[in-house]
Structure 1
Amino acid sequence: MPAPSPADLLPALLADDPARPRITCYDDLPGATAGERVELSARVLDKWVSKAANALQEEWDVAPGSVVVLSARPHWRAVYWALATWAVGATLSLVEVDDAEVAVSDTLPGPDATTSVYLTRASLARSSDVALPPGVVDEAADVSGYGDFFAPWATPEPDGTALVSGSGELTYGELVDAAARRWPDLPRGGRVDVAPQSTQDLLLALVAAWSARGSLVVHVGGTDPAVRARRAQDEGVEHGLEVDPV
């Protein structure tokens, strides 16, 4: 049996229980979004992923072999861009690389790429929260117009590169197993939480939780441990994921 791909995880959750919350994000970063709590079921998250994946595939011709740079703080919006990249079978890079087809960033200016996309964190945003330079795509305004259903034109090979980070590279055939090994023995179907130090931490935690058919509670922005503990109790968290400090 082939190794599971990160692109298989969300469809499996949709088949399992589309209405169950699969990611809950508390935003403690300074700024207008401080204090936001956003919860997404597999069904709702799939719509976000489909819109971003359709934009990548239809508008910017991203496919297996293409590279998408994601330069964003760990946040639920970063999650669906990562999942969209894996849905089209491209390489997600968390570090700047030459010749990327698309760069998605929550700061300006973003990494150089053929297409630059600005990500606004606010959950109800319908347009950018800053003035954008000419040519930069306003994700909040433009991506919502793409379809809610996605069908990839091609699928990646297991040895295709899925993730590039400061820690190295992981293929489509390696990523799920690598995340599960980092946090073994997660409760099957359990609710787990993490306070990620980086987007890499967030994505690997998500893959680990989802590969165990669970859900993830995320605390973004240096959350006070006492606040995290209180939220974990309120959210019914069964297991906390620890990450190495940066």
Structure 2
Amino acid sequence: MTPITLGGSAAQAPQNFPALLDLLESRPQPALIWYGAGENQERVELSGRVLQNWAVKLIGLFSQETEIDEDAPVLVDAAPHWKAAAVLLAAGALGWRTTLSAPAAAQDDAEALVSLASGLEPGLIITDRPDAWTGAGPMASGLGEAELAALSPGLLDASFEESTGERLPAWALDISAEVRQHPDQLPAPLPPLALPGATTGAESGAAAGGGLVVVGAAIETSLKDWRLARWAGEELFAQMLQTWAQSRPVVLFQGDPAAQPEAWEQMLRNEGVR
């Protein structure tokens, strides 16, 4: 299979967030492809236009429904999911200092995440497991004074509770319940904030025609013409942005390739990642 591209050329790559959103809006080709975990692996594909639309609606939502200080960090605590990727794009366009943390899988990981949150003192935590931050578990102590926003996993979710069966605190922001009410146009022009540059292999995959594959767990492998990254850290966000700026797709594989080798191989075949 020929690797997917968004079209365009590296010479025309945007250098700031408004230009990147304009590029995405103009592209009907796939920009973000997500593979869910589990036996019945779900696949969701977002064109550049749809990704831009989600980002614009999220920008409107966050601009009107959050009251964080301009310099306050934002912590995104979520699995590798297309909604989390759209959130990262919107947060970057707003100029937020965003830290990405993959969900804790063990007690030690949870304590490390609490330590991270305590050190950051975030103004906002965006998470796909709000109960962990508001319940009686170890992570609740890391919420501090931060606002909380909940990400549900479905494409057509009317609310977090409808999707998961879990009720949110009245003070928490339900992204799925609120985002569709916001317009498809930006509420105000965005500042021309520069895109962060990826420092590791930023050009190698795009130059060869591939894109970026992101996994939730570490894996040692070689992907011809594609870059591979783990879902964590500021460097990943920069790589995602540069991939879209170079008109290439980002593929999110939420499962563990080592635990799901057949699903991993099927994804590689589906997307022409070889």
Q: What interval of TM-score do these two structures reach, taking the shorter chain for normalisation?
A: 0.7 to 0.9
Where do residues 1-246 of structure 1 align in structure 2 (5 Å cutoff)? 4-5=15-16, 8-15=19-26, 18-28=27-37, 35-61=41-67, 64-94=70-100, 95-96=116-117, 97-107=119-129, 108-110=131-133, 111-128=143-160, 129=164, 130-150=166-186, 152=188, 155=191, 175-178=196-199, 181-188=200-207, 189-197=209-217, 198-200=231-233, 203-223=237-257, 224-237=260-273
SS in 1 for 2:156: coil
Q: Do the aligned residues in 2 keep the contact of 1:24 with 1:37 (CA within 8 Å)?
A: yes
Aligned length: 214
Q: How far has the Cα of 1:79 moved from its partner?
A: 0.6
TM-score by length of 2: 0.67
Residue identity in the other structure for 1:118: A
Q: How far has the Cα of 1:67 moved from its partner?
A: 2.6
| Other-structure match for 2:222 | none
| Other-structure match for 1:244 | none
| Inter-partner Cα distance in structure 2 for 1:157 and 1:43 | 21
Output one character per residue of 1:114-138: Cα deviation in whole Å (capped at 9) or x when no partner.
4211111122211112111231121
Q: 1:64 to 1:89 in 2, by over 3 A?
A: farther
Gaps spanning 5+ residues in structure 1: where?
159-171, 239-246
Q: Do the aligned residues in 2 keep the contact of 1:62 with 1:101 (CA within 8 Å)?
A: yes
Q: How far has the Cα of 1:176 moved from its partner?
A: 2.0
TM-score by length of 1: 0.73
Q: Do the aligned residues in 2 keep the contact of 1:126 with 1:141 (CA within 8 Å)?
A: yes
Q: 1:194 to 1:76 in 2, by over 3 A?
A: same
| Inter-partner Cα distance in structure 1 for 2:201 and 2:211 | 17
Gaps spanning 5+ residues in structure 2: where?
1-13, 101-115, 134-142, 218-230
| Inter-partner Cα distance in structure 2 for 1:91 and 1:145 | 26
| Inter-partner Cα distance in structure 2 for 1:73 and 1:137 | 18
| Inter-partner Cα distance in structure 2 for 1:154 and 1:98 | 26
Q: How far has the Cα of 1:5 moved from its partner?
A: 4.1
Q: Do the aligned residues in 2 keep the contact of 1:69 with 1:93 (CA within 8 Å)?
A: yes
SS in 2 for 1:80: helix
Higher Rg of the two aligned structures: 2
SS in 2 for 1:69: strand
Output one character per residue of 1:135-186: Cα deviation in whole Å (capped at 9) or x when no partner.
112111122211212255663766xxxxxxxxxxxxx5xx3232xx245411
Output one character per residue of 1:222-243: Cα deviation in whole Å (capped at 9) or x when no partner.
13234222222222235xxxxx
Higher relative contact order (CA 8 A, sep 6+): 2
| Inter-partner Cα distance in structure 1 for 2:214 and 2:173 | 31
Q: Do the aligned residues in 2 keep the contact of 1:67 with 1:93 (CA within 8 Å)?
A: yes
| Inter-partner Cα distance in structure 1 for 2:60 and 2:69 | 11
| Inter-partner Cα distance in structure 2 for 1:235 and 1:157 | 32
Higher strand share: 1
- What percent identity do the matched residue pairs reach? 23
| Inter-partner Cα distance in structure 2 for 1:184 and 1:6 | 19
Q: 1:124 to 1:199 in 2, by over 3 A?
A: farther
Q: How far has the Cα of 1:37 moved from its partner?
A: 1.0
